[in-house]
Amino acid sequence: MKIGYLSTIYHTSFILKSDKFHFKSTNELGNIEWTLYPTGPAMMNAFKSGDIDMGYIGLPPVMIGISKGMKIKCVGGGHVEGTVMIAPESYGSFDELGDLKTVLKQFEGKSIGTPSSGSIHDVVIRSMVKEFDISIKNYPWADFIPDAIMGGEIGAGAGTPSLATVASMQFDSKVVIPPHQLWPYNPSYGIVVQEDLISKSPDFIINFLKSHEEACNLIRKEPERAAEIAASEMGVIDKDFVLKTYKISPRYCASLPEEYIKSTLDFIPVLRELGYMKKDLKEGDVFNLKFIEKIHKENAHY
């Protein structure tokens, strides 16, 4: 089975890939080929070409692809509120200024950096700044954003909690708009599959979602153990980096509750307004809930 993943350290991919993760359902998954992609839109190209069967990805690029005829479905959640806005310490934050417009007005005449066009971070920040004289600069890798801020190329950056952690290590930075203020309950990422996998390999999807949920539980209940596994698997960061990232937006679960679905569908008019898609979608166009409803009968843990 071929699974695409991102470098986002709080995704369960880094736990499931590790040989230190030994839940029963994981052992039933069989051979998995993992492929790293820089952004959600890049992963969408892999879905389109058939290079992957499943992926960890934010939902806006998925909806853009579905609107263009791609046969993919979201079968599980993973995390909500995964976009933050960071800037140098000299700027006022939402906590300090108490108002989103006041925070954003500081960046008029400047640019905000974010991952590639059509990524969830790109869509969220474009929806926030449309009333301001602020331009958006897209980067193929979020890792370029802190350097661009330090070099004066952009005034701020919008991306995952990992971006905030990296930036804090490189210069005096802070979160100027926290995740829950940018887009409440936004679908940071979900588990997306090729539609033919639903009929061909339903047992694999079930077992994968069971493992994914157990890994989400591990992050929430035993963050130190989860962070140690994830850091060891990535190899270039330490446990403290992962723990700090976990805490910036600590909302992890595999379920697809009404709030997750509604927040996802609320992106549709924004995507249309931005010109990323031309037609509306319904819940059934984006989601297949039958698998997650079998394995996650309790309330969501987000």
At 297, list the tokens: 């009968």
Cα 208 versus chain centre, distance: 18
* Dist. CA 138–CA 104, nearest whole Å: 18
Which single residue is written with the structure tokens 């933050």?
A: 84
User: What pLDDT score was predicted for residue 24?
Assistant: 57
* Dist. CA 174–CA 154, nearest whole Å: 15
Cα 203 versus chain centre, distance: 25
Which single residue is written with the structure tokens 């993943």?
A: 5
H helices of the chain, in order, are: 13-16, 24-27, 40-49, 59-67, 94-97, 100-105, 120-129, 144-150, 161-170, 179-182, 195-200, 202-221, 223-234, 239-248, 258-265, 267-273, 283-286, 290-295
User: What pLDDT score was predicted for residue 293?
Assistant: 97
CB atoms within 10 A of CB 48: 15
User: What pLDDT score was predicted for residue 25?
Assistant: 60
Which single residue is written with the structure tokens 């579905």?
A: 66
User: What pLDDT score was predicted for residue 175?
Assistant: 97
* Dist. CA 144–CA 26, nearest whole Å: 34
Residues in the chain: 302
The residues, any chain, with a CB within 8 Å of residue 130's CB and separated by 6 or more, are none
2-80+185-295 matches 84-182 in fold = yes
| Pair 85, 176: CB distance under 8 Å | yes
The topology under which CATH files domain 84-182 is D-Maltodextrin-Binding Protein; domain 2 (3.40.190)
User: What pLDDT score was predicted for residue 77?
Assistant: 98
* Dist. CA 78–CA 156, nearest whole Å: 27
- Short-list 299, 290, 294, CA closest to 75: 290
User: Could you tell me the residue ranges of all domains in the chain?
Assistant: 2-80+185-295, 84-182
| Pair 56, 32: CB distance under 8 Å | no
Query: Across the strands, what pairs with 287?
Result: 74
User: What pLDDT score was predicted for residue 21?
Assistant: 76
| Pair 82, 123: CB distance under 8 Å | no
Residue at 97: amino acid letter: L
| Pair 94, 128: CB distance under 8 Å | no
* Dist. CA 138–CA 131, nearest whole Å: 19
Q: Would you give the DSSP letter of residue 263?
A: H
* Dist. CA 11–CA 216, nearest whole Å: 8
Q: Considering only the top CATH level, what class is 2-80+185-295?
A: alpha beta
pLDDT along the chain (302 residues), means of 10: 95 92 67 92 96 97 96 98 97 96 98 95 96 96 94 97 94 96 93 97 95 96 97 93 96 97 96 94 98 96 96
Half-sphere exposure of 54 (CA within 13 A, CB side): 23
User: What pLDDT score was predicted for residue 75?
Assistant: 98
Q: pTM of the entire structure? A: 0.91
* Dist. CA 193–CA 239, nearest whole Å: 30
